[in-house]
């Protein structure tokens, strides 16, 4: 018993001591502190790592340039894709780490919970991956900003492109989860508005992380639709496209899937992915073919030895907006920072991006393309890219007002 109690005492002493030396950072030259809560374990990390890595790259550059009188630093916490863990991490960052800005997260439930917390604590919250339209829609407020597209934007963009095709009979299949239903509803509601003759033959809803889509695809084919709207996301895109290839779905019935053309989806499929799949995304490392994007890609590749995926754009935007907002405000006060961010435009790898002042939603252009084999890469790329501008994809301010009950 004695050695054990000594061990406990020593451990306690070390813990207390380390708390004392790492606790108060006030005596150091005060830096702007950004707290990032996101899921860094499990499948979502393939997206979130890019956000963090690109953010770090941009922050390092800003700090080195000395364009702000204070340095920007950041701390990360793993939410493990759980709302309770993520929310307590966010509280800890705000109470103990005294962060000035919060950032994250890929989990929509958690994003809304942190948004609520930040509203109470009056801390700006930059949302970097969650696709929930509620963040800047129904549940929007002064302290929350979304730097990523959401289901409303993506749905509208998909509907716009589908309306141009000669399809009338549709089938909807998707994740039986908020994201799936939100994106399917957004697409369908907009499609039926701009092309009233469309009809819905039926719907299939599968569980998130469905391992095998073959029975769903064969059942959809049996219904003989003109086109299928696939409302599945994240890790499920890969097995869906595999099953599509195995059944020849892409050759028989055209289908559209948001994020189908993204690097995270197409890279694991290699050169053997299904061609001719319609998909939308915010970013490709090979498009737009501009000097800004090329520079961004080569910097990212040099630092991390991989091409940046869509998350990298969000991380870059977060860092760039933070720098410009503080620089424009000429102050490090939160309220001034928010005033500056409203309506602010920055240059980015995808061109100029503006935060709409009314709902704090970044107006990101959406790229719609078709999967195609490429001579340059050992995976499929998006071809025939149509750009849907941020202004066109954004839901009208009236709709946001209605959702907020204004």
Residues binding other proteins (CB under 8 A): 41-43, 45-46, 49, 173, 176, 202-207, 209, 211-212, 214-216, 218-223, 235-236, 238-239, 242-243, 245-249, 252, 264-265, 267-270, 272
Q: Which is nearer to other proteins, 145 or 216 (CB)?
A: 216
φ, ψ dihedrals at 157, nearest 5°: -65, -40
* Alpha-carbon span 278 to 327, nearest angstrom: 41
Distance in angstroms (rounded) separating the CA atoms of residues 194 and 262? 27
Smallest separation, CB 379 to other proteins (Å): 10
Judged by beta carbon, residue 211 or residue 405, the one nearer other proteins is: 211
Strands (DSSP E) contained in 79-123 are 101-104
Angle at 112 between CA 96 and CA 231, to 5 degrees: 140
201/128 Cα distance (integer angstroms): 35
Count the Cβ atoms, other than its own, within 10 Å of residue 64: 9
Residue 243 CB, shortest distance to other proteins, in Å, is 7
Would you say 3 or 211 has its CB closer to other proteins?
Answer: 211
What's the min distance (Å) between Cβ of 232 and other proteins? 11
Of the pair 50, 100, the CB lying nearest other proteins is at 50
User: Between 143 and 188, whose beta carbon lies closer to other proteins?
Assistant: 188
In the bound state with other proteins, the residue whose beta carbon lies nearer, of 247 and 361, is 247
1 Cβ contact list (under 8 Å, min separation 6): none
CA–CA dist 336, 328 (Å, integer): 9
Q: Which is nearer to other proteins, 119 or 306 (CB)?
A: 306
For other proteins, give the closer residue by CB, 179 or 337: 179
CB of 86 to other proteins, least distance (A): 17
- Which of 293, 269, 137 has its CA nearest to residue 257? 269
Cα–Cα–Cα angle for 143, 148, 151, nearest 5°? 105
Minimum distance, C-beta of residue 170 to other proteins, in the bound complex (Å): 13
Instruction: Please enumerate in sequence order all residues whose Cβ is within 8 A of that of 197, keeping only pairs 6 or more positions apart, or say none.
Output: 168
Least CB distance to other proteins at residue 85 (A) = 15
Q: How far apart are CA 253 and CA 357, in angstroms?
A: 41
387 exposure class (CB count in 10 Å sphere: 0-12, 13-18, 19+): middle
Instruction: Give min distance, CB of 226 to other proteins, in A.
Output: 17
- Dihedral sign computed on CA atoms, order 325, 107, 310, 220: negative
CB of 374 to other proteins, least distance (A): 17
As a whole number of angstroms, the distance between CA 140 and CA 112 comes to 9
């Amino acid at each position: 018993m004695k050695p054990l109690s000594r061990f406990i005492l020593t451990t306690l002493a070390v813990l207390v001591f380390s708390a004392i030396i790492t606790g108060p950072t006030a005596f150091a030259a005060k830096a702007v502190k950004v707290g990032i809560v996101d899921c860094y374990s499990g499948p979502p990390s393939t997206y979130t790592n890019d956000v963090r890595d690109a953010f770090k790259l941009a922050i390092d550059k800003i700090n080195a340039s000395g364009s702000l009188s204070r340095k920007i630093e950041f701390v990360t916490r793993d939410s493990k894709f759980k709302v309770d863990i993520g929310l307590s991490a966010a509280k800890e960052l705000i109470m103990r780490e005294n962060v000035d800005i919060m950032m994250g997260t890929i989990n929509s439930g958690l994003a809304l919970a942190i948004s609520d917390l930040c509203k109470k604590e009056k801390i700006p919250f930059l949302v970097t991956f969650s696709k929930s339209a509620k963040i800047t829609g129904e549940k929007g407020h002064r302290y929350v900003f979304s730097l990523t597209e959401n289901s409303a934007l993506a749905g509208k963009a998909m509907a716009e492109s589908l309306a141009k095709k000669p399809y009338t009979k549709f089938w909807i299949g998707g994740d039986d989860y908020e994201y799936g239903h939100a994106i399917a509803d957004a697409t369908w509601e907009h499609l039926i508005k701009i092309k009233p003759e469309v009809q819905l033959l039926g719907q299939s809803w599968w569980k998130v992380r469905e391992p095998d889509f073959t029975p769903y695809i064969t059942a959809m084919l049996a219904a003989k639709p003109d086109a299928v709207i696939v409302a599945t996301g994240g890790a499920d895109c890969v097995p869906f496209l595999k099953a599509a290839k195995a059944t020849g779905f892409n050759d028989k019935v055209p289908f559209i899937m948001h994020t189908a053309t993204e690097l995270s989806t197409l890279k694991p499929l290699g050169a053997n992915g299904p061609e001719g799949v319609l998909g939308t995304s915010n970013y490709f490392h090979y498009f737009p073919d501009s000097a800004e994007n090329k520079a961004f890609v080569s910097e990212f590749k040099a630092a991390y030895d991989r091409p940046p995926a869509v998350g990298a754009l969000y991380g870059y935007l977060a860092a760039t907006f933070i720098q410009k907002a503080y620089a424009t405000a000429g102050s490090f006060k939160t309220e001034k920072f928010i005033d500056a961010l409203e309506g602010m435009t920055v240059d980015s790898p995808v061109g100029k991006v503006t935060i709409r002042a009314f709902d704090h939603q970044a107006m990101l252009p959406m790229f719609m393309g078709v999967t195609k084999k490429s001579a340059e890469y050992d995976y499929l790329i998006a071809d025939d890219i149509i750009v849907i501008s941020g202004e066109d994809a954004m839901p009208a301010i009236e709709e946001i007002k209605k959702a907020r009950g204004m």
